Amino acid sequence: MAELEAQAPPLQPPLHTTAAPREREPDPADIERYRKWWEERKLRKLRVLQTPDEKGATLESVLRKTKTIKSLLEETDIFNNVEAIIDRSRDFLAHPEDVDVVFLTREKGRYFLNTSTQVGNNEGGASATARVRNAFGGAETFEANVAFATKTRMSFNASLSAPLSSDLKTRGEIALFGLERDNSSFASSYEGIRGLRAVLRRGALSGGAHEIGYEAVLRHIGNLSPSASISIREAAGQSIKSSLYHSWTRDTRDDKILGTCGSYTKLFQEFAGLGGDASFYKTEAHGQFARTLFAGLTVSFAARTGLLWNLGGRSYFSDRFQLGGPVSVRMFRMNGMGPHDGVDSLGGSLYWSTGVSLISDVPRKPHWPVKTHLFLNAGRLDNIDKSASISKPSISAGVGLVYKLDPIRVEVNFGVPLVASKSDGVRKGFQVGIGVDFL
Amino acid sequence: MASPLALSLPAPLRHFFSLFPLYTHPPIDSPDKAHPVTSPTLWISPPFSPDADVLSSDVECLKWQAYLALRGISDVAVRWDVAVDGALDNRLPNLHVPLRTLPGASPEVRQQDDGEGELLPAHLIPEWVDGQVGALDSLEGYANEAARDESRAWVSLLEGNVHAALVLSQPSSPSLWHFLSPYHNKPRPLDAVVAHPPAPLFGISSLLPSYGTHLDVDAIEQQYKDAISSLSERLGTDKWFLGSSLVRSPTALDALVFAYLHSILHSKEHTLRFEVTRRVNLVAWERRVQSQVRGAFRTLEVVRQS
């Protein structure tokens, strides 16, 4: 066998290159394998789209199908613009009347990094967001976010969401989140949260969006002020909540911040007690509707209520409701209503609040984003075992200016509390509110 | 005195605001509000067996339990349902006392006792005890000046060598839970306890940031053995440490010795325990003091029921 071994030709200068043009090309079998893989991959990528219906297609059905596919492609949030061209089919085997539907798309950047500063819900802060679109080729989105602010000291959130149904209307999401909240203004403490969440979402806001999820959260009340009350000291420490929740939201308002028509409804319910310390059933309902009375004058009515039914031994501070403040019942301190121990608001298990606002244009300046408003708010935060007292509301009234500073609303109000409980923290005179959801 | 530049409301506006709220409901009560404090309550870390015991498993808390009991305070309630985050400066024990028992409480304060009480950190407990049972003289309960000075040496021996050995026997490995927890309560670092602060794990010229400490475990163990043996010799058959025939009352040193002996006897580390169990006088002394200390405390539930 030794004589069969290839022998290098004797080297004789000058040397010439002997490489043939095809020498470095891959094996045809490899090319075939690669082509197959690529086609499979392309199919996999398109598995969310419906396969075209080929039999008995008319121009109308083709146009319809094209529109469906186009809107689906747009829904994936992967492409910047999607254009469809209907062309005579170029396939050799095609019938003369066959058409090709060609989609011209431009993919959005896969990687997105953003830092920003923002103001909202009476706090200001800075955040950094990183997003990967179409992370695994199936319209999945991975997003990581870190933010630092005044009230919510630190928050982070990392989530992976993916479409679960072929119409892309149902999305699943897994998220890790954490935040640290400064509650020292009303409860002499900080609250740290670390959690894991798995969510299923379906539907659009205009027709009613469902969200069902599971949450496992570690809550930690700590960093108490030296003057913290004994009740808050007793509430300090860690607790674990493991809960299932469902929420339904429907929003038909023409504007989320200063709507002139339409309504907003949100129903929320949560059951905790699948392991962990906290065991309760919690339900909340928010509603708002706005109507234009005549040009330049809108009336907005809002109501919220919530109930926390404790199933276990003790209720936890983190689960209880808080009420009051510029985005809640105005002319009361932020989370300053309901049961107190000294200066600390302990929260309650039952609340309702309602508000009516008359919003009008500034005279002769209807195009200004500043509107005037007149409000009347009422609400009560209490505990379930004394349901008779829930009908003793705290009431406030006042006037103010509303400034629509997209995407938030800023209010400067002057008002007074008309009726209050002795334990409520009241605010007379001016109050500034920055937020999204107002009563 | 108020600065002339300080903002103040104009009188008409102040008058207008004083009219509101027009009607006031009674304050809203809550089952989540703390119970009023009726008797002195010590907040401690949980005992080794929370169902059957009132003596804390934490040596710092036990020191103050023993201190209160040996100073003659009795009928103190203990509770361990408050997390360490709820304690003043995140350190247990705290003593929660009704306002009327405060040494400097005026008659008005005694009258307006709303049950909120006053929470005292550990270092203010002796002052409160002085107010209850009378202050100690300059000898702090010891037989003479020499005994008082000697007690300082014993205190530093216990809080140094013995404490180091005890902490070493309860290693706190960083767990996932610890990693998840948003706020951390750092225990007293070991290098603040041992007599000769250990060198860092890395040299001063190291590029790595310094972390961890290098501890000579054998040396700490040897020092611990020496400390226990000298403790046993010094006690002999006396009723109290450094006690002469003239003085029959316990001192702060006895509280400290009891806390360490009790914690060591409940330690899971055999070598640590063995050093004490082989010395009969220490075991017998600990048992005697234990019953006295235990007798001074009741759980909060028992106090509330009575």
Contact A192 B181 (CB under 8 A): yes
- Range of A321's domain? 183-435
B189-231 pLDDT, tens per residue?
A: 565 666 555 555 555 566 665 566 667 788 888 999 999 999 9
Q: For residue A154, give the nearest of A119, A126, A173 by alpha carbon.
A: A126
Q: Which tokens belong to A214?
A: 């599971």
Q: Tell the burial category of A426 from Cβ atoms under 10 Å away from its Cβ (0-12, 13-18, 19+).
A: buried
Provide the pairing of β-strand B297-299 with B76-79: parallel
DSSP string, A388-436: GGGG--EEEEEEEEEEEETTEEEEEEEEEEEEEETTS-B--EEEEEEES
Give A2's pLDDT tier (boundaries 50, 70, 90).
very low
**What is the predicted pLDDT for the residue at A91?**
78
Q: Which tokens belong to B299?
A: 């759980």
**What is the predicted pLDDT for the residue at A18?**
67
Interface with chain A: mutation pick from B183, B185, B300, highest number of A CBs within 10 Å:
B183
Q: Give the one of A194, A340, A419 whose C-beta lies nearest to B182's C-beta.
A: A194
Most confident among A59-68, A240-249, B91-100 (mean pLDDT)? A240-249
Give B184's contacts in chain A (Cβ within 8 Å).
none
Give B102's pLDDT tier (boundaries 50, 70, 90).
confident
- Interchain CB contact of B23 with A (< 8 Å): yes
Contact A381 B28 (CB under 8 A): yes
Q: Are A240 and A276 in contact (CB under 8 A)?
A: yes
Q: Distance, in angstroms, between B2 CA and closest chain A CA?
A: 22
The count of other CB atoms within 10 Å of the CB of residue A306 is: 20
| Surface of A (199-238) touching B: CB under 8 A | 218, 220-224, 226, 228-238
Q: Lowest mean pLDDT of A105-114, A147-156, B2-11, name the range.
A: B2-11
A206-227 pLDDT, tens per residue?
A: 889 999 999 999 999 999 999 9
A29-62 pLDDT, tens per residue?
A: 888 898 898 888 777 665 545 455 556 678 888 8
**What is the predicted pLDDT for the residue at A395?**
95
- Interchain CB contact of A385 with B (< 8 Å): yes
Q: What percentage of chain A has pLDDT greater than the value 70?
A: 90
- Taking chain B, what is the end-to-end CA distance rounded to the nearest angstrom? 50
Mean pLDDT, residues A429-433: 91
Q: Are B180 and A218 in contact (CB under 8 A)?
A: yes
Q: Distance, in angstroms, between A309 CA and closest chain B CA?
A: 14
Spacing of C-alpha A331 from chain mean position: 29
Q: What per-residue string of b and e applies to A391-425 under the rule 16 or more CB within 10 Å gives b?
A: eebbbbbbebebbeeeebbbbebebbbbbbbebbb
Give A300's pLDDT tier (boundaries 50, 70, 90).
very high
B119-153 pLDDT, tens per residue?
A: 999 999 999 999 888 888 878 888 888 888 999 99
CA distance B92 to B85: 9
Give B23's contacts in chain A (Cβ within 8 Å).
418-419
**What is the predicted pLDDT for the residue at A213?**
96
| Surface of A (333-362) touching B: CB under 8 A | 338-342, 346-348
State pTM to two decimals: 0.82
**What is the predicted pLDDT for the residue at A430?**
92
Domain ranges of chain B: 34-206+214-305
Contact B27 A421 (CB under 8 A): yes
Give B56's pLDDT tier (boundaries 50, 70, 90).
very high
Contacts by residues A248-254 (CB-CB < 8 Å, ≥ 24 positions apart): A248/A208, A248/A209, A248/A210, A248/A211, A249/A205, A249/A208, A249/A209, A249/A211, A250/A205, A250/A206, A250/A207, A250/A208, A250/A209, A251/A205, A251/A206, A252/A206, A253/A288, A253/A290
For A251, the enclosing helix (H) or strand (E) is: strand A237-251
A316-367 pLDDT, tens per residue?
A: 999 999 999 999 999 999 999 999 998 999 999 999 999 999 999 988 888 8
Q: Distance, in angstroms, between B193 CA and closest chain A CA?
A: 25
Give B37's contacts in chain A (Cβ within 8 Å).
230
> Is there a domain that residue A256 lies in?
yes
Tell me which DSSP letter residue B53 carries. -
CA distance A381 to A346: 10
Domain boundary among A108, A132, A166: A108
Return the CATH number at A235.
Answer: 2.40.160.50
CA distance B280 to B26: 64
A137-156 pLDDT, tens per residue?
A: 888 889 999 988 877 788 89
CA distance A409 to A403: 6
Q: Which tokens belong to A429?
A: 């005179």
**What is the predicted pLDDT for the residue at A167?**
80
Angle at A384 between CA A305 and CA A218, to 5 degrees: 75
Contact B17 A416 (CB under 8 A): yes
Give A231's contacts in chain B (Cβ within 8 Å).
32-34
The pLDDT of residue B173 is above 60: no
**What is the predicted pLDDT for the residue at A78?**
84
Q: Are A323 and A381 in contact (CB under 8 A)?
A: yes
Tell me which DSSP letter residue B12 carries. H
Q: Are B283 and B262 in contact (CB under 8 A)?
A: no
The pLDDT of residue B6 is above 60: no
Phi/psi region, residue B133 (left: phi>0; alpha: psi -120 to 50; beta: rest), is alpha
Domain boundary among A84, A108, A132: A108
Query: Above 0.90 for ipTM, yes or no?
Result: no
Contact A346 B30 (CB under 8 A): yes
CA distance B290 to B263: 11
How high does pLDDT run on average in chain A?
Answer: 87
> Is there a domain that residue A58 lies in?
no
**What is the predicted pLDDT for the residue at B198?**
56
Closest residue in B to A338 (Cα) is B28
A100 and A202: one domain?
A: no
A102 and A243: one domain?
A: no
How high does pLDDT run on average in chain B?
Answer: 83
Mean pLDDT, residues B59-80: 92
**What is the predicted pLDDT for the residue at A264?**
94
Interface with chain B: mutation pick from A230, A396, A419, A431, highest number of B CBs within 10 Å:
A230
Contact B22 A418 (CB under 8 A): yes
Mean pLDDT, residues A190-215: 93
Could you name the CATH architecture of B34-206+214-305?
Answer: Up-down Bundle (1.20)
**Top-confidence residue, A400 or A10:** A400
Closest residue in B to A181 (Cα) is B182
Mean pLDDT, residues A163-187: 90
A226 and A86: one domain?
A: no
Q: What percentage of chain A has pLDDT greater than the value 90?
A: 48
**What is the predicted pLDDT for the residue at A17?**
67
H-helix segments, A198-322: 230-235
> Is there a domain that residue A78 lies in?
yes
Q: Distance, in angstroms, between A146 CA and closest chain B CA?
A: 15
Domain boundary among A80, A108, A136: A108
- Angle at which helices B270-277 and B217-235 pack, to 10 degrees? 20
Q: Which tokens belong to A227?
A: 């003057």
> Is there a domain that residue A254 lies in?
yes
**What is the predicted pLDDT for the residue at B2?**
44
- The total domain count for chain A is 2
Q: Are A286 and A266 in contact (CB under 8 A)?
A: yes
A5-19 pLDDT, tens per residue?
A: 667 667 777 776 666
* Cis, bond preceding B93 (omega within 30 deg of 0): yes
B224-240 pLDDT, tens per residue?
A: 999 999 999 988 888 88
The pLDDT of residue A166 is above 70: yes
**What is the predicted pLDDT for the residue at B239?**
85
Give A278's contacts in chain B (Cβ within 8 Å).
none
**What is the predicted pLDDT for the residue at B249?**
79
